Structure formats: structure tokens, C-alpha cells
Structure 1
């Protein structure tokens, strides 16, 4: 076997991270070892990783040998993908949703402001059914954390009972990681696996074998609902 060298590649933070802040307390440190170009899988994985790289503290990416690539390494393939990412990252950032509401300079939205007022108006439970994304909730709780003591913020969060229909933006996982004390039920499902979700109810027979849409017809709905 020919000798090989581990080839470290430093990923500069100005390139690897989108400009917005996720405002998490600490990011996982990541150092990737890859036998890239042995087959397409690692190239594909690196592209996917870069699209989520703002969630991590990337320390390095190294081209290595493997059983399937025993005598060579291809750091140039890593460089090529990173250069391509650098050319599109500004455009990608224009289409980020959800956690954009958590940027330091973001103005509190009217919806988030109203939610904060509702939480503070009574010490009773506030039920929060979420039919779409949770960025309004995330912004409200982030605002409370910034403007109240930790004890006060925890008290306000304790009044919430949250139920979401899946994770419809990227603030759902952020909320659960940032505020583990939240009462938070996420009815999640994999893409195209809607039968695993609780919200399909009785009307989606094509997706759930337990459903029965023979009842849920216009005539029945018109008479009883």
C-alpha cells in the first residue's frame, strides 16, 4: 500500500456559515473524515451537510483512504464542493425561513408580541395548537428570554401546552433543544409517510389504512357538521 497523507481542510467561518444567527447556546463541533470519490455518496453527503452547516461548528474536513480507496485521497473534490457552496450561499440565505425570525436585529412580529401578551395576561395554561410553522412561537420565547429573568421566563414557558402538526419550519427542533422544559408534543412523520402522523384522522384512506372516508362525504357533512 502506498503511503497517504491526511489532508486537513480548514473551513473558514465566513464561508461555511450563513450570516444569520441561530442563537443556540452551543453548537456541536464537527470534524469529518471522508474517502470522497470512492463513489458518489460522500460527495452527496458533503453537499447536504453544507446546507445545514450553520447548525454546527465545523472544525475540519479531511480526505482519507478506505477499503474502497486504499491508495489515494481526493482533497480537491472537497475544495470543489466548498467553492460551489461559497458561490451560492448568499442566494441560499435569501430563502431561509423559520429561524430568520431569531436574528438579533429582527423586530418582534405582531403575532409574537400578541403571544407574549397572552402569556403574561394570566397565570393559567395557554394551549397552543400549531397548524403551520413555529417561528412566531420561537421569536416570542426568545424575546421573553432576552427581556425577563431566567425564573420569569421559565414561569411563562410553563404555561404553554404546545401541539404541532409535524415540524413545518426549522424552529421546531430549535425550540425543543433550546427550551427542554417546554410541554411540547410534535406529531411528526417522515416525508410521504403521513400514515404515521396523528392528524390524518378518519378522512385520508389513501394514506392511512385505519381511516374510513365512507362517512366523510358532502351529504353527511352537510347534515351533521
Structure 2
């Protein structure tokens, strides 16, 4: 198990701690799945804990290592495989969602790197679903970012451009963002433009030391 996988597993455990029958953490996953095997492995592991969450979205994104494509098809493939074992999982816990409940929340981000996917005319089902899920519920929502966060950046950009100041403040107040480093330039943009956003950037997982900083991360620089 790689360091990135360990970090993601720790996040899953962290989020599952306060879960109860009355209220579960809401989770929206952004993943650069198919960049390398770890995100597919992490998706399998995440679904093994799916009874602990309200899964609001599973979105395929780009990242520094996968700049020109997204792979929602792989998420769907894993969810369909999960559906085959879900009846057995229900023998152990009653709240595992059916695959038919999860497939509609699998969405595609723009197959474009970083801030090039943010702005006028860049709306896609993934960013639109993110807006809808935040607005529709008064509870906070965890956005876990395993790749680049430009889907979240586009959602924030659109809310800022199309809604009132009060609506934007309410939107941002509900978000809890957790990223595995900065894997494109949209993370620093989010932190600069929405400083009130609860944003955890997990640093130092990659060779080269701390990977999160305002501006381009060391991870991005070293990968050129």
C-alpha cells in the first residue's frame, strides 16, 4: 500500500468516526482515477466503507499526471463490481447503498488540466452536481480530492458569478475540503479566492518534501 493510499484510508477512517444512524458524513469524491492503480484501489476501499457515508458524488478529474483525460468509466466499472457483492455486505451492516443508487452520482469532470477547466462555458455535470448537492442540504459536505480540484473550483466560480454574496457565503460554509497535495493550480486559486473555505491540504507525501503552498506545488514543479 502506497503512502497516498494510506493517506486516503486514514481520511476514510477519520470521516467514519462520527457516523451514526441519525446522521452520516456527506462525501463528494474527486479522483484522477486511471492515472495509476492507487485511485482504483482507493475507490474499492472507499466502497467497502460506503455504509458509513452519504455518497453524494464520485467524479473523475484530471491531475498533474493525467492532464488531458478523465475516466468516469472506471468508477462505473468498480461500482458495478461493488453491486455484485453488496448483498453479502448487507449481511454485515444494513446501510450499504445499492449500486443503482451510486451509479447516477458518477460524473465526469472536464478533460482539461487545472484552471483551464474553470470559467465561462466550463460547466459540466460534475461541477453542476457539486453545486446541487451543496445547496440541497443544510449539512456540511466533505469534498475529498485525490487528484486535481478543478471541479470544485468551477463550482465555486459559478456560484460566485451567479448567486448573491449571502448565497456564496452559505455555500462555502458548508464545504470541508481535503486534498492529497496540490495536483494542479486550481487548489491555490481556491485558497486565494475563498480564504474562508475549510481547506485541508495534506503535504509531504511525495519525494521532495512539503507539496502544498500558495502557487504551484513542488510536486508539480518536480514532475515537469
> If the length of structure 2 is used for normalisation, what is the TM-score?
0.42
More helix by share: 2
Greater relative CO, 1 or 2 (CA 8 Å, sep 6+): 2
